[in-house]
Amino acid sequence: MFNANYQKRREALRSKMAHGLIIFPGNNEAPCNYPDNTYKFRQDSSFLYFFGINQPGMTGVIDIDSGEDYLFGDDVTMDDIIWMGPQPSVKDMAASVHVGHSAPTGELKKFIAEARRQNRPIHYLPPYRHDTMLCLEELLDIRVAELKKHVSLELIKAVVVLRSVKEPCEIEEIERACDIGYEMHTTAMRLCKPGVKEQYIAGVIDGIAASYGSMNSFATILSQNGETLHNHNHGNILEAGKLMLTDAGAETVNNYCSDFTRTVPVGGRFTSRQKDIYNIVVACHDHAIDFARPGQTWKEVHINVCKVLAQGLKDLGLMKGNVDEAVAAGAHALFMPHGLGHMMGLDVHDMEGLGQIYVGYDDETRPSDQFGLASLRMGRRLQEGFVITDEPGCYFIPALIDKWRAEKMFTEFLNYDVIETFKDFGGIRLEDDVLITADGSRFLGQKHIPLTVDEVESIMNE
Ligand SMILES: [Mn+2]
């Protein structure tokens, strides 16, 4: 896609590493229910970032010391051509991204064996597919169960530094994914009527992503039971008076993601109780963008947003006491047990497979073990070029309310008698994708998905 960039990225990576070889195993086709019936192919994101080739069965190798790059893979056979049509040769694919050397997969083992014989360090990222683990086991003679122990922390840290700051061409691609997300969410809003099955709407919006040749950036969450945070059940018939929560995004053909959440009233009009809670979440959502800028930590943004939530709930009589103390104690997490957002890029939870501790935290900003704050995936200081999701929420989870009440949790901050009357409310989450700019932040996407009460009611009643 950005052919000249891959070489620069590999050079940048080399400059951050001391010695040895780096192996980037690309992904293989993944069988669904029999070998030839595969899931839609998805390349490994770090392989894409450094090698840019969206084909299965490839392995990239970077030699830190010699400055040479290698692509290992097999050319298609006549049989492949008959069934799949002509495919570019491995040599041509390598040349297209300025990789100087290419060779059949069979050569990879000899190549790595020679490096091992010379005792050169061999770096690899944490594998997450079992076939990749088996390949690494064979190449490195490290048993699958031991692979994790030998992962290269030096490589993880270098990759995180590079992939965290998005290049202009990456931001453009994320904006494209956002535009598809706009179409998905506005379509869901128009279809959200009593008597319609959740699955129908989920299927239609997934089809929108597919119609762009894209796929979903993750499995669509669409439910009138939005208090279940990752509700993948689409079995309900929408009922008047409920809120439909849709958390969905697209991944472009070049594999950059979007991730949006909207919560709308089934039938198109918010009740006054729904409006009260909804407007608090809108205020949380807007506060993040006002507050996020380079130098600020996302953890501070999260905590400030939680204060907006707690203040709003106090004004409504659900919380009480000192707001700062309530948030410091974690009492608000009854209503928002998750973090404010995560990095986004080639992965919707960008680089999560490398270890959240390295992506979202550093020596300065450490993760918390407090309920709620512990679920914050991203905490560290912001830099220009970071892309993060801003996704506050407010949920009424009956089982959690019952448990906390029985355990007399935070009775100085929580008005359980009032909270009890909201147990049939459901949940609200609002999510947009944020780019950290030189002096602040802005939402991504050319088109603004309706957000305020008026905007949402207006599109639903067109
Ligand atoms: Mn998200």
Q: How far is the CA of 249 from the centre of ligand 1 (A)?
A: 9
Q: How far is the CA of 247 from the centre of ligand 1 (A)?
A: 7
Q: How far is the CA of 407 from the centre of ligand 1 (A)?
A: 31
The residue to which tokens 């069979």 are assigned: 106
Report CA Rg, the chain.
24
Q: How far is the CA of 261 from the centre of ligand 1 (A)?
A: 8
Given this model, what pLDDT does residue 1 score? 56
Least Cα distance to 270 among 437, 455, 97, 118 occurs for 455
- Residues in the chain where the model's pLDDT stays below 70: 1-2
Fold of 3-164: Creatine Amidinohydrolase; Chain A, domain 1 (3.40.350)
Q: How many CB atoms lie within 10 A of CB 155?
A: 25
Fold of 168-460: Creatine Amidinohydrolase (3.90.230)
Least Cα distance to 112 among 101, 120, 104 occurs for 120
* DSSP 8-class letter at 220: P
Task: Give the CA-trace dihedral at 362, 363, 365, 367, to 10 degrees.
Answer: 80
Q: How far is the CA of 248 from the centre of ligand 1 (A)?
A: 8
d(CA 241, CA 82): 56
Taken as a whole, the chain contains a residue count of 462
* DSSP 8-class letter at 245: E
Given this model, what pLDDT does residue 2 score? 62
Q: How far is the CA of 35 from the centre of ligand 1 (A)?
A: 32
- β-bridge mates for residue 427, sequence order: 395
Sign of CA dihedral 451, 454, 459, 460: positive
Helix (H) or strand (E) holding 170: helix 168-191
Given this model, what pLDDT does residue 434 score? 98
Given this model, what pLDDT does residue 231 score? 78
Beta strands 59-63 and 427-429 are: unpaired
- β-bridge mates for residue 61, sequence order: 23, 70
For 115-168, what is each residue's pLDDT tens digit? 999 999 999 999 999 999 999 999 999 999 999 999 999 999 999 999 999 999
Q: How far is the CA of 432 from the centre of ligand 1 (A)?
A: 8
d(CA 409, CA 318): 14
Provide, for the chain, the percentages of residues in helix, strand and coil under a 3-state DSSP scheme, each rounded to the nearest 5. Answer: 45, 15, 40
Residue ranges, CATH 3.40.350.10, the chain = 3-164
Q: How far is the CA of 390 from the centre of ligand 1 (A)?
A: 8
Q: How many CB atoms lie within 10 A of CB 139?
A: 20
Q: How far is the CA of 226 from the centre of ligand 1 (A)?
A: 14
In this prediction the pTM is 0.96
Start-end of H helices in 257-352 = 272-291, 298-315, 323-329
DSSP 3-state of 15: helix
Q: How far is the CA of 411 from the centre of ligand 1 (A)?
A: 31
Q: How far is the CA of 220 from the centre of ligand 1 (A)?
A: 11
- β-bridge mates for residue 389, sequence order: 433
Given this model, what pLDDT does residue 4 score? 72
Q: How far is the CA of 436 from the centre of ligand 1 (A)?
A: 16
d(CA 246, CA 184): 10
Strands (E), 356-445: 387-390, 393-395, 427-429, 432-436, 441-443
Residue ranges, CATH 3.90.230.10, the chain = 168-460
Do residues 47 and 58 make contact, with C-beta atoms less than 8 angstroms apart? Answer: yes
* DSSP 8-class letter at 158: H
Given this model, what pLDDT does residue 94 score? 97
Name the strands in the sheet holding 260-265, side by side, starting at the edge strand that comes first in the sequence: 221-223, 243-248, 260-265
d(CA 263, CA 258): 17
d(CA 429, CA 83): 46
